[in-house]
Structure 1
Amino acid sequence: MAGSTHTVSNQPPPLTGYDVFTGDRVLTAAVDRHTAPGVIEDVRGELAALGRAAGSAQLQEWGAQANENPPTLRTHDRHGHRVDEVDFHPAWHRLLGKGVSGGLTAAWSRPAGQVRRAAAFVVWTQVDAGNLCPLSMTHAAVPALRTDPALAAEWEPRLTSMVYDRELRPARLKAGALFGMGMTEKQGGSDVRANTTAATPLAEDGTYELTGHKWFCSAPMSDGFLVLAQAPQGLTCFLVPRVLEDDTRNVFMIQRLKDKLGNRSNASGEVEFDGTWARRVGEEGHGVRTIIEMVAATRLDCVLGSAGLMRQAVAQAVHHCTHREAFGAKLVDQPLMRNVLADLALESEAATTLALRLAAAYDDGGEQERALLRIAVPAAKYWVTKRCTPVTVEASECLGGNGYVEESGMPRLVRESPLNSIWEGAGNVQALDVLRALRREPMALNAYLQEVGAARGADHRLDAAIKDLLTELADLEGVEGRARRLTERLALVLQGSLLVRYAPPEVADAFCASRLGGDGGAAFGTLPSTLDLASVVNRARPEA
C-alpha cells in the first residue's frame, strides 16, 4: 500500500538523458585542441553520439545489470566435455558491442585515432568500466603484433574492426575479434622474468607448445591472448588463439574466475596451459621488448579510465548539490560544499587534460613526443590512478547517506576506483620505471622539461615548482627511496603546466595554489576562500 503521510521532495532527479561528451567542457576542449580542423566535425559528431548513448537511462541500466549479474565460468558441457567458456549477462554483450562499434578498438586505422579513442574511453567508462578491459587489451595488442608483419596482416583487421563478433571460431571466419593478455604468474607478479611457463618449439617454424599457469588472465573469453613464456632463448611473447584453424579448441583451461572487489561485470581468471599451441611474436628472448608497447598503451588506458571514473563521480556530486537544498539554500551555493566540489573538479580536470595530452602525443608519433611519453605515461599512471579513489569517496560523501546506497551508483565507482592503480604495474612499478627513464634516456627528460617549460613565466607557483623539481633531479643518488615523491612531483608539475596553458584562469589559479603552492590541505575542500570557486564548480556541471 502506498503511504499518504508525506510527498517526496528535495530529491535530485536522476542524472540521465544527457550527453556525457558534450556536457563535459574539459573533455570537449581537449578534443578540439588536439584534433586537426579537417576531421574535428566528424570526431565531435561521433563522440556526441556516443555521449548521448552513455548518458541514456537505458545504457545506465545496462551498466548496473552487468555488474549485478557478474560472469560465470562453465568448464564442461552437459556431456562432460571440457569447454572452458565464460557466460555473461546480455547487458554485458550489448555494452561491449556498442563499445566496439563506437571505435574503442579502431584507433590505429583512423584520423586523430588516439585522441578520438581516448575521449571515447573517458565517456564509455562512465557507463561501465568493466567492459573497457577487453576493449583496452584489443587496442593495445596491435603495436605488439606489428613486430611480426604476417601476424599483423592476419589479426589487425579483425582487432580494429568495429563489428562485435562474440562467437568462438577461427580468426579467418570472424568479422571482429577481441584480445586478452596473460603475463602474471603466482611466483612472480610484476617480476615477469620470474615466469616459469615453458615454451617448447614445434616442427613448424615460429610455433610452440606452452605448459604452465597464469595467475591473472585478463578477459579469458577473448579470441586470442598475448602471453609471456620461457623459450630456449629466454622470455618470449606468444599469441595463443582460443580456437585453432581446424576449428578445434586450443588447450586453454580456465581454472576459476577471480572474485574481485570491483570490476564485477568483467571476467578475470586463472588459466592453465598443457600442450597449448602458440605462435611466437617477435624474437626469442625479447618478450618484454615485444610486449612493452602493449603495456604502455594499457597504462595510458589506466589513466583514461581513472579520469572517466573521476569525471562521473564529480558529475554526480555537482548534479546532486545543484538540486539538493539544506539549511535554506542549495548545497552548491553553500561556501564549504562549494569548496569541496571545486577541489574535486580540479582533480578531475587535471586528470582529463593530462590524459588527452598523452593521447595526442601518440597521434603525433614524432621523436620528441615519443620521448615525452616515456616519462609522462608512467608518471601519469602513478599519480592519476592514485587520486581516483579519494575523489570517488569524497564525491560519494557529497550525496550524504544516498551516496552509500547501491542504487545511487556511487558505491560501484568507489569499488572500481583502486583497480587502475594496481593493473599494469602498481605504484612502485611505475615510480621505478620513471627512474629507469631518467637514468637511461636523457631525451625523455629533455622532452618533459620542454613540455613543462612552455608555461614558464605564466604562474610564479609553477615556476617555483619547476625550479624545485630541477634541484631534485640534479641529485639522483639514493633516489629509489624517494621515487614516489619524485614521480608525484613530475606529474603535478606537468598537470600544472597544462592547466596554466589551456584551462580558464580560475582553474589554473586554484590548481597552482593548492597543488604546487602549498595553499591547500590534505583533505578535499581546503582551497583558499579567495579563489573563484563558483566558476570552477560551474565548469564541472554535467548539464552545461
Structure 2
Amino acid sequence: MHDEIGPFQTHVVENQPPPFTGRDLWSDDAALVEAVQRTGALVFAPRLAAYGKLAGDTLYRLGFDANRDRPRLRTHDAQGHRIDTVEFHPAYHELMQLAKAHGVAGLSWHEPQPGAHVARAALSYLHHQAEAGTSCPLTMTHAAVAVLAAHPMLSEWARKAAAPVYDPRDVPMADKAGITLGMGMTEKQGGSDVRSNATTAQPEADGSYRLVGHKWFFSAPMSDGFLVLAQAPAGLTCLLMPRRLPNGNRNAFQLMRLKDKLGDWSNASSEVEFAGAHAWRVGEEGRGVATIIQMVMMTRLDCMLGAAAEMRMALAQALHHARHRRTFGQRLCDHPLMANVLADLALESEAATALAIHVAAAVDAASGDAREPMRARVGTALGKYWICKRAAVFVNEAQECLGGAGYVEESMLPRLYRQAPLNSIWEGSGNIQCLDLLRALQREPQALQVLLEDLQAACGREPLFDAALARWWTDTLPGPVLARLYCERMALLLQASILLRAGSPVAPAFVRSRLGTEHGMAFGTLPGDIDADALLARALP
C-alpha cells in the first residue's frame, strides 16, 4: 500500500513491474522438473519443491544483503593477537545454514540412493539462482567428500562435511556436528599448471606433514579444512589441512588479504601463506592430481549447474519485466522482436539445464554402469566449456531487456552479470576444458564411442540434426588449435540430442536455430515462423 499523492508531488509511479520475489523456482521451471523426472529422481520432488519456494523468496531476499555487505578480513584482535578471521554479514550464515540443512552440500552422500546426485544437483541449481557466492563453499564441501570418503583415517571429515548441519564457529572439527571444506591449488607462478606448485610438504614422524609456501587463490578461508596440493618428497601430493588443530590452536597459516573480485561478493577468497602448517596426506605421495581430480570433476559439474542457473534467473527476470512493462501501447513482451529475443534466451536456458542435469544423472549412475563415468567425463568437459562460455553474453542480453533498470543494483541483473564470467574461469578455463576433452577421447577410445552413441540415439527425429551430425562428426580428432570449434559443435549436438530424446517441445526450434543456417550470432535472431509465444509460456508461468 502506497501513500496517496500529496499536492506537491510531481508524478505517480506507474508502468513498473511488481517485485520478482515470492516466486516458486521449482514449479516455475518446466525444463528442470522434466529433466529431473526423466532421470528417475522424482522421489525427491517434495524436497525440491520446498527448496524452490524457499529459494524464490527467503534466499532471494537474503542474497541482496549478503552481497551488499562484503566479507571483511581481521588479521589481529584489539590486543594484537593474530586471529586471521573473516567476518560475514549474518545473511551469509543464514544462507549457508538453510542450504546445508536442505542437502545442497551433502544430500548425495548422507542419503545415498538412486537419484540422489541429480536431486543434489537440482538443489544446487535452485540455490545458485538466489545467491551464487555461497555456492562456492557448498560446492567444495560436497566435492571434497568424494575424495575424503575413500580414506578411512579421514572418514570423520567426510561424514561431517556431508552432514546437513552448518556451524560457523571457529573451533576444531571434533567439536562440530557439521563442517565446510575449501581447497587451495593455485599459486602465483602456475595458475592451471599446478605441477609447477612450489609449496612444500615435509613429512613428520607422526605421519603428518608440514606445509611451507603460499596459495594465490584460497577460497572460503573460514572453512574447517582445506584440500591443498604441495610438493612432498615423491612429488605433487594432495593433503588435508585443518583450520584448527585438534588441541584447539590455530594452524600455522596466515591470510594475507582478501581478493577484490569482479563478483562473487558474498564469498571470501584470499591469499594465504603456510608457515609450517600441519596437514595429513590424502592418497599416495606424488599422485596429487590423480587424487584430487574426482573433486575437480564434481566442482566442474557445479560450474555448469551454476552457469545454467544464472541463465535461468536472468531469463526469469527479463520475462517478468517484459510482461509487466508497457511500451508504445503494448506489453514489452508482445513486441515481435522482443518476443524473439526472449524466446531465443528461453531455448538457450532450457538446453543448458538439460545438459547439466544429464551430466548429474551420469554421475548418479556411475557406480552401476562402466560407461556412465565416461559419459560424465565427456559431458562435464563439454558442459563446463560451452554453458559457462554462454552465460556472460546471455545475462547481458537479459539486462538489455530491462534497459537501464537492468544496470542498476536494485535489480539482480548486475550481480548476475558480475557472476557470470566466474564459472568459465574457475576450475579450468575454456582452453583447459577443450584440451582436456581431446586428451580423454584420445586416451579412452570407448569414451568417443559413448559420445557417438549418445548423438546417434537422436537420429531420425529431425533431418537438420541428422545432417549436422553427418557434417560435423569425424573419428579423427582435431589438433589443439581447433579444439574450441570441435567442443562447441559437440556441445550443441549433445544438447540437441538430449532435447530430442526427451521429446522436449523446444527441441525442433533448438535444432533449427542452433544446427541450421537460419540463426545469427546474436540472441533474437530466430526464424520468424517459430512460435515465440509457446516458448515463453513454457519458460515462465
- TM-score norm. by structure 1 comes to 0.96
Secondary structure at 1:83's aligned position in 2?
strand
Cα displacement (A) at 1:503: 4.8
8 Å contact from structure 1 (residues 184, 214) kept in 2: yes
Does 2:295 match 1:294?
Answer: yes
Q: 1:395-418 deviations in whole A, cap 9, x for unaligned?
A: 010011111111011111101100
Secondary structure at 1:399's aligned position in 2?
helix
- Counterpart AA for 1:344: L
- Percent of aligned pairs with the same amino acid: 54
1:384-423 alignment runs, 5 A limit: 384-423=387-426
Secondary structure at 2:371's aligned position in 1?
helix
Give unmatched runs, 5+ long, in structure 1. Answer: none
Cα displacement (A) at 1:499: 1.1
Distance in structure 1 (CA, Å) of the matches to 2:189 and 2:158: 33
Secondary structure at 1:17's aligned position in 2?
coil
Report what 1:459 is aligned to. 462
Deviates more, 1:176-185 or 1:98-107: 98-107
Distance in structure 1 (CA, Å) of the matches to 2:52 and 2:412: 18
8 Å contact from structure 1 (residues 115, 360) kept in 2: yes
8 Å contact from structure 1 (residues 143, 293) kept in 2: yes
8 Å contact from structure 2 (residues 110, 163) kept in 1: no
Q: 1:37-93 deviations in whole A, cap 9, x for unaligned?
A: xxx34x11111111111111x432210111110100011111111111100000110
Cα displacement (A) at 1:361: 0.7
Report what 2:529 is aligned to. 530
Secondary structure at 1:221's aligned position in 2?
coil
Q: 1:282-331 deviations in whole A, cap 9, x for unaligned?
A: 00000000000000000000000001100000001111111111112111
Q: 1:319-351 deviations in whole A, cap 9, x for unaligned?
A: 111111111211111110110000001110000
- Counterpart AA for 1:195: N
Report what 1:284 is aligned to. 285
Secondary structure at 2:165's aligned position in 1?
coil
Report what 2:518 is aligned to. 519
Secondary structure at 1:517's aligned position in 2?
coil
Distance in structure 2 (CA, Å) of the matches to 1:526 and 1:296: 35
1:138-217 alignment runs, 5 A limit: 138-151=141-154, 153-205=155-207, 207-217=208-218
- Counterpart AA for 1:340: V
Q: 1:277 to 1:475 in 2, by over 3 A?
A: closer
8 Å contact from structure 1 (residues 520, 526) kept in 2: yes
Report what 2:310 is aligned to. 309
Report what 2:53 is aligned to. 52
Secondary structure at 2:190's aligned position in 1?
coil
Cα displacement (A) at 1:172: 1.6
Give unmatched runs, 5+ long, in structure 2. Answer: none
- Counterpart AA for 2:127: W
Cα displacement (A) at 1:4: 2.9
Secondary structure at 2:117's aligned position in 1?
helix
- Counterpart AA for 1:247: G
Secondary structure at 1:531's aligned position in 2?
coil
- TM-score norm. by structure 2 comes to 0.96
Secondary structure at 2:70's aligned position in 1?
coil
Cα displacement (A) at 1:204: 1.1
8 Å contact from structure 2 (residues 116, 364) kept in 1: yes
8 Å contact from structure 1 (residues 372, 445) kept in 2: no
8 Å contact from structure 2 (residues 183, 228) kept in 1: yes
Distance in structure 1 (CA, Å) of the matches to 2:66 and 2:441: 42
- Counterpart AA for 2:233: P
Report what 1:228 is aligned to. 229
Secondary structure at 1:126's aligned position in 2?
helix
1:332-351 alignment runs, 5 A limit: 332-351=333-352
Cα displacement (A) at 1:518: 2.2
Cα displacement (A) at 1:475: 4.8
Q: 1:352-397 deviations in whole A, cap 9, x for unaligned?
A: 0000111111111121111111211011100000100011000010
Report what 1:255 is aligned to. 256
Does 2:413 match 1:425?
Answer: no
8 Å contact from structure 1 (residues 375, 444) kept in 2: yes
Q: 1:478-523 deviations in whole A, cap 9, x for unaligned?
A: x100101111111111001011122533x11111111111210001
Report what 1:63 is aligned to. 63
Report what 2:482 is aligned to. 482
